[in-house]
Amino acid sequence: MEENISEVDIAYQILSESGKGNPLYFKKLILEVIKRQNKTVQNEAAAISEIYTMINMDSRFQHIGDGIWGLADWYPPETKRRISSKTTKSAS
């Protein structure tokens, strides 16, 4: 894998390769990112937390619910609103 590519860009590639509409559980996605980076990770939990935060802040990704992430462009805007309101209601 390219050495200068960011973790979030690797995550984007992984989801793109999985095919449209095939979201992944965050831990599976992030562990694949770490594997593709081919770097030694001192603290896996900290690495997962850091990469999860980057994905969460990147508008290219869409949280589907229950720890599942996909790409925002897989979902039309009206679907995004429905997913967000479901997630918000279940969190209450």
Q: pLDDT tens across 26-79, in order?
A: 999 999 999 999 888 899 999 999 999 999 999 999 999 999 999 999 988 765
d(CA 57, CA 47): 16
What pTM did the predictor assign? 0.78
E strands in 38-84: 61-65, 68-71
Domain assignment of residue 2, yes or no: no
Domain assignment of residue 67, yes or no: yes
CB 73 within 8 A of CB 51: no
Q: Which two tokens stand for residue 72?
A: 């925002």
Structural domain boundaries enclosing 68: 7-91
| Predicted local distance difference test score (pLDDT) of residue 1 | 46
How many separate domains does the chain show?
Answer: 1
Domain assignment of residue 60, yes or no: yes
